[in-house]
Chains A and B, each alone.
Chain A
Amino acid sequence: MSGLRVSDLHKSFGEYSVLAGLDLEVPAGSLTAILGSSGSGKTTLLRLLAGFEVPDRGSVRIGERVLDDDGSHVHPEHRRIGYVPQEGGLFPHLTVEANVGFGLARAARRREVGGLLDTVGLDGLARRYPHQLSGGQQQRVALARALAVKPEIVLLDEPFASLDAHLRASVREEVVKILRESSTTTLLVTHDQDEALSLADLVAVLRDGAIAQCASPQDLYARPVDDDLARFIGDANIFSGVLDGELVDTPLGKLPAEWHGEQLPNGCPVRILIRPEQIDIDRVGGDRGPAGRVVRSGYHGHDAVLHVRVDGQDARPLIVRTLGSARPQPGSNVTLTARGRVLVWPAHP
């Protein structure tokens, strides 16, 4: 088993450049998510990896095997990369059984299809046609079909986007479980941050035709490489400030700072990230931190998102996340304290 290595990948359609120097490493056996807004080139990337399109420049390798490099291109049928499109893409004229066995030799078909259907929990539906299946079932058949040929990597193109919300969570879990059990290297494309963060070992954010950051979900959330990315992955409070040794001045007082890379000089102007979860609120009283007033309170059941205006500050209100059960109403007075280190980036000149 081997991982995928993509370097300096370029692709344009006519004068439109979609991918411009994309580098990506997917470790063997991992589940890596490609996260990007619609139009960022996610689908193009998958189509290039699957071999449906030929890159203008750059290379694609699996382990030592070169799939694309200047001039050479391995055809889709020889790449050993499985592809599961958004709608499943089942062959409408073939039964479930025949769909799953499509890539297998005749002898292997009889032997293996039963087991594969068993794996995805559809052993009773072998004789059905795709249009007789629900969306989730179609998705699992498509997965079984891709796994049947024992690919080195499986590509999933927004596989859960077309499912109903209540179905999505369960299908998602099942699909990931199957993939993990078969320990197949998986690349999942999605525009859903939640999906990427909750499912993947690694999340690579695709932006402007290249990978902006590739990191574990925790790292990506806690230490994004710039403020755009911080806002793209969840809610963010972002301020300007000046670095004072290890500390930085914020509306919530002086807080310990951390940063990417080398030591930043004293007095360096910085941008500061405080995630809504890093802020604790207290009902009235207490002199532990600055006081503020709740201006908006959005209830989400499990939690609540508050907008709090800090006294004496004209800046936009802080976003604070708290438990849904004990949320303060708009207009109430609170005190705010921040927890842990805050991330800073040198400010753009």
Chain B
Amino acid sequence: MSAPASAARRGASVRAHATLAPARPAARPWGLIALSVAVVTVLALPLCFLLIEAHGVGASTILHLVLRSLTVSLLWNTVRLTAVVTVLCSVIGITTAWFVERTDLPGRRVWAVLVVVPVAIPDFVMSFGWQSISTWVEGFRGAVLVMTLAVYPLVYLPVAASFRNADPGQEELARSLGAGRLVTFWRITLGQARVAILGGCLLVALILLAEYGAFEILGYQTFTTEIFTEFNVSFNVPAASALSLVLVLLSLVVLTGEGLARGRGRVSRSGPLAQRVVRPQRLGRATPAVLVGFAVLVGLALGVPIGSAVYWMLEAGHAFLTGVSLLDATWYTATYGLLAAIVATVMALPVALLAVRHRGRTYQLLERSTYLVLAMPGLVIALAFSYFTERYAGGFLYQSAPLLVLAYAILFFPLALVCVRASVAQAPPGLEEIARSLGRRRLSVLWRVTLPLVLPGLAAGFCLVFLSVVTELTATLILIPIGTQTLATQFWAYQQNLAYGQAAPFALAIIAIAALPSYVLGRFFDRLPSRAVVTA
């Protein structure tokens, strides 16, 4: 090949690169780098504390504690529950998403809301709702039932969004190439949703590893319940930290597995403007059966927990007005939630901006490392903070509001980052460049262009963190300042004393507070695809 020809060919492959890659900055964005490094450092604190704690216990003791028959039975319990529930959730999540997004199911819009609402019901409330009305619901089968109903929306949400965005042209193409309906569904429809399905399953699995309240109520023993007991009841720090290490490793295995399964495949649309409306599949005579299925699902996941809470409240008559004021607990819950949501969202912004706007392996790595927090269950973070402040910091901040808020912010940082990142990635970088060519400095561009464009993502991240704080129980039980109660802890106290009538109003209050942010979130994920083409 002659020199000019090869140069031309190189030029051709470069253009794609040049237009896809965001602007290379004139100088390194030192401000963003400094902020991001600070955020990553804060996020690494719990892991460091856990390691310091384990180091204090000593390797031989840890090994001795891990290599017990108890560990094996905990491992078996945890793994089998995680596997079964993850599979069930993906089946329910994918099926419901397909019916809602791709068929002419009557009342699709209503179902789309009802199917998601269980996400606002904390797992321990779901568990309480079922266990308090039926003794059948306990142990392994109880845990499977309750957890499946509580967390399947986490598969439904991403998969539904993916179905909505998927290029329908690809399905038509597959059919024209001779693939039947089933083959097309399996290879194209599910193939397009693969990343979403895996993402949903990852969240489900991580939640199962970290869950405490629901399993405590159902009498099902996992790593998390055992760690809680060792630490809070037996005050056995070495055992708690040894088991924590195993639990973190287990979470890491899940994270890595998802990363490997996701592979390098990409789902892309041929043309962003070719947003066509998918012609829904006709259900025909199957309609009544599908409707019954949806009604049963909503009844089990929504009707039972709410109905049972209302039942216990009415049963108790006026007695539920006694005890700590509902208003006080609501106030603390909302305050902690707001503060944690602000802190987490503010922390997420620089990391997202750096990772999306500035190409560079170091920046990507910085962002990736924050996802390691996902491997730290709330209980482990809480224990690490609690133990460290008590033992090494002379009680400074121990069981204080700032520490609780910080723990929440770290625990739910990945959720905030996902939302903020999505919005930053959707805001075309070209706009920031244009703003600068119009004579605006970097800070002014950030304020007048970038922030307004990523506002939906910031709002969504805020809501998601707030929602998660309101429904959080495990870490709260350990870190809550003495003398204060949140809705979750107060519910827990009553529930532990079998005072169902008094517990019920707190459960309902949690659901009520969590419902609004869930709605906002639903809207955000609904609008995500269309926003991308606003400027086109």
Of the candidate stretches B138-146, B304-312, B412-420, B438-446, the one touching chain A is: B438-446
In the complex, the answer to whether A208 meets B437 with C-beta atoms within 8 Å is no
Residue of A18, A73, A79, A207 contacting most chain B CB atoms (<10 Å): A18
Q: Which residues from A are CB-within-8-Å of B18?
A: 13, 18, 43-44, 47
* CB closest chain-A residue, reference B429: A52
B60 at the interface (CB under 8 A from A): no
Q: Which residues from A are CB-within-8-Å of B14?
A: 13, 16, 18, 39, 41, 44
Closest chain-B Cβ to A62's Cβ sits at a distance in Å of 14
In the complex, the answer to whether B534 meets A92 with C-beta atoms within 8 Å is yes
Given A13-B17, A53-B24, A75-B26: A39 in contact with B11 (beta carbons within 8 A): yes
* CB closest chain-A residue, reference B440: A77
Taken residue by residue from 64 to 98, chain A's Cβ proximity to chain B (1 for < 8 Å, 0 otherwise) reads as 00000000010111111111010111111110000
In-complex Cβ contact of A103 among B24, B438, B452, B534 (8 A) = B438
A41 to B13, CA, bound (A): 10
In the complex, the answer to whether A52 meets B15 with C-beta atoms within 8 Å is no
A88 to B434, CA, bound (A): 10
B536 at the interface (CB under 8 A from A): yes
A77 to B434, CA, bound (A): 9
Residue of B4, B14, B24, B536 contacting most chain A CB atoms (<10 Å): B14
Q: Which residues from A are CB-within-8-Å of B11?
A: 16-18, 39-41, 208-209
In the complex, the answer to whether B17 meets A82 with C-beta atoms within 8 Å is no
A276 at the interface (CB under 8 A from B): no
A54 at the interface (CB under 8 A from B): yes
Q: Which residues from B are CB-within-8-Å of A17?
A: 7, 10-11
* CB closest chain-A residue, reference B3: A208
A269 at the interface (CB under 8 A from B): no
Closest chain-A Cβ to B357's Cβ sits at a distance in Å of 12
Q: Which residues from B are CB-within-8-Å of A91?
A: 431, 435, 449, 452-453
A203 at the interface (CB under 8 A from B): no
Q: Which residues from B are CB-within-8-Å of A78?
A: 439
In the complex, the answer to whether A44 meets B15 with C-beta atoms within 8 Å is yes
Closest chain-B Cβ to A185's Cβ sits at a distance in Å of 15
Closest chain-B Cβ to A181's Cβ sits at a distance in Å of 21
* CB closest chain-B residue, reference A18: B14
A89 to B4, CA, bound (A): 34
29 A-B pairs with CB atoms under 8 Å apart are A13-B18, A16-B11, A18-B14, A18-B15, A40-B8, A40-B15, A44-B18, A47-B18, A51-B436, A52-B437, A54-B26, A75-B436, A77-B439, A77-B440, A77-B441, A82-B437, A87-B536, A88-B535, A89-B431, A90-B535, A91-B431, A91-B452, A91-B453, A102-B438, A102-B448, A145-B438, A146-B438, A148-B438, A208-B4
- Known A-B contacts: A89-B428, A93-B453, A208-B7. Give 10 more (CB < 8 A): A18-B18, A39-B13, A52-B436, A77-B438, A87-B536, A89-B430, A89-B434, A91-B435, A103-B439, A131-B535
Closest 5 CB pairs of A and B: A103-B438, A39-B12, A76-B436, A16-B14, A92-B534
Interface residues of A (CB under 8 A from B): 13, 16-18, 20, 38-41, 43-44, 47, 50-54, 73, 75-83, 85, 87-94, 102-103, 130-131, 145-146, 148-149, 207-209
